[in-house]
Structure 1
Amino acid sequence: MTALGFLYPGHSAEDDYPRIEQLLASDIRIDLVHTDIGEDAHREDALREMGSAERLAAGVEALRLAGAEAVVWACTSGSFVYGWEGAHEQVRTLAVTAGMPASSTSFAFVHAVRELGVRRVAIGATYPDDVAELFADFLRAAGTEVVAVRGSGIITAAEVGTWGEKELFTLAREADHPDAEAILLPDTALHTASHLPALEQHLSKPVLTANQVTVWEALRLTDRRVNAPELGSLFTKEPIVQV
């Protein structure tokens, strides 16, 4: 049994995680602890506070007691908002506090893009435009070419959590760009786990979503690989050998 730990801000799309655990169909357990979201706002100051070391540390002990082997901060905006160096410091601090390997959803996207071997991506964000651009900047710092960014102007995670299949597909479709080799949908408040194969079929290219890559990142940290076609191309792709 491999136990994966996640720190998830507030309550929006956390039901994606038991769904993903079911779709993995393996000896993998997902343990999720909710962190205090503070002010629910896709605004830089509020996001920095949400991802503060103190808020993340508050949930670590429960994951340790559950036997988690790795922990991922399951929030994209609450990590990339710190910038490339700041986000590294965030996960280093989390790893020391937790006493186990740690990462965040922002780095999960970076590693997943590399896993797929793609270089050019388009972003479909629920966030306001300025926050969406911060995510684009984060990816560029990792060496990824961002060919298009679409923001949706949604202020709260609570509102994003009410989005269904129609809104999800509209976001992905409007984010697509002819030069993009993959579409990235960076919000863990967005329900996506039940729609990944359909999204990829609809767009004819890989789609990476926040909760999907977050779980994949935890598996990467624990050196586990699981073939799970219902979770999209990322979970069926042979690893890229870096040279």
Structure 2
Amino acid sequence: MTALGFLYPGHSAEDDYPRIEQLLGSDIRVDLVHTDLGEDAYRVDALRGTGSPERLAAGLEELRLAGVEAVVWACAGGSFVLGWDGAHEQVRGIALAAGMPASSTSFAFVHALQEIEVRRVAVAATYPDDIARLFADFLRAGGAEVTGVHSSGTVTAAEAGAWGERELFALARAADSPEAQALLLPDTALHTVAHIPALEKDLGKPVLTANQVTVWECLRLTDRRVNAPELGALFTREPVVQV
């Protein structure tokens, strides 16, 4: 049994995680602990507060007691707003406090792009324009080429969490471009897991979503590779063979 740990801010799309657990198989357990969201606002100051060390540390003891093998901060905005170096420092702090490997959703996107060998990406963001641009800057720092950023202007996680299939597909189609090799949906407050195969079929390319890559990243930290086509192209790759 591989036990995966996640720190999830507030309550928006956390039901994506038991859905992913079901699709992964019986020998993988997903343990999710909710952290204090603080002010629900897609602003830099509020997102920095959401990812503060005090808020993250509060949930780590519960994950340790659950016996998880790695932990991922399941929040994109609460990490990439810190910038590349700041997000690294945040993850180091989580790993030190937890005593186990750690990462965040922001780095999960960077590592997932490396896994599927893609550089040119389009960003379909629920966030306001300024926050969406910070995510694009983070991706560029990680080696990606961002072909375009489309923002819906959503201002809270609660608003994003209330979206359904219609809003999700409209955002994805508006953001996609022929130059992009993959489409990224960076908000863990957005329900996406049930729609990934249909999105990939509709767009004709890999689609990476926040909750999807977050779980994949935790599997990566535990050296697990799982074939789960219902979770999209990211979960159908053959393991990379190190020479």
Work out whether residues 225 and 239 of structure 2, in 8 Å CA contact, stay in contact via their aligned partners in 1.
Answer: no
TM normalised by structure 2 equals 0.98
In the alignment, structure 2 segments of 5+ residues that lack a partner are none
Task: Tell whether the 8 Å contact from 2:31 to 2:63 is kept in structure 1 after alignment.
Answer: yes
Q: Partners of 1:241 and 1:207 in 2: how far apart? A: 24
Task: Give distance in 2, aligned partners of 1:138 and 1:84.
Answer: 6
1:17-32 correspondence runs (5 A)? 17-32=17-32
Quick one: distance in 2 between partners of 1:180 and 1:26? 35
**Offset, 1:25:** 1.8
Separation of aligned partners in 1, 2:141 and 2:240:
20
Matched with 1:237 is 237
Residue 130 of structure 2 corresponds to which residue in structure 1? 130
Instruction: For residue 241 of structure 1, report the CA deviation from its aligned partner.
Output: 5.8
Q: Given that residues 114 and 240 in structure 1 are in contact (C-alpha distance below 8 angstroms), is that contact kept between their aligned partners in structure 2? A: no
Q: CA-to-partner distance for each residue in 1:206-241, whole Å, 9 max, x for gaps? A: 000000000000000000010000000000012456
- RMSD across aligned C-alpha pairs, in angstroms? 1.0
2:63 equivalent to 1:63: yes
- Contact persistence 1:117–1:240 (CA under 8 A): no
Contact 1:7 1:71 in 2 (8 A): yes
1:187 is matched with which residue?
Answer: 187
What residue number does 1:162 align with? 162
Distance 1:126 1:242, change over 3 A: farther
Matched, 1:146 2:146: yes
Counterpart residue number, 2:10: 10
Q: Alignment length, in residue pairs?
A: 243
Q: Distance in 2 between matches of 1:78 and 1:52?
A: 8
Residue in structure 2 matched with residue 172 of structure 1 by the alignment = 172
- 2: CA distance between counterparts of 1:177 and 1:242? 33
For residues 90 and 238 of structure 1, the distance between their equivalents in structure 2, rounded to whole angstroms, comes to 31
Per-residue CA deviations over 1:9-41 (Å, capped at 9, x if unaligned) read 000000000000001123000000000000000
Cα deviation digits, residues 58-96 of structure 1 (max 9, x gap): 000000000010000000000000000000000000000
Match of 2:211 in 1: 211
SS of the residue 2:194 aligns to: coil
TM-superposition CA deviations, 1:105-157 (whole Å, max 9, x none): 00000000110101100000000000000000000001100000001111100
Query: One-letter code of the match for 1:164?
Result: G
Quote the Cα distance in structure 2 between the aligned partners of 1:115 and 1:136.
19
Show the 5 A alignment for 1:37-116. Answer: 37-116=37-116
Paired letter, 1:166: R
Quote how far apart the aligned CAs of 1:102 are: 0.2
Give the deviation of 1:242 after TM superposition.
Answer: 7.8
TM-score with structure 1 setting the length: 0.98
Query: How many angstroms apart in 1 are the aligned matches of 2:30 and 2:229?
Result: 19
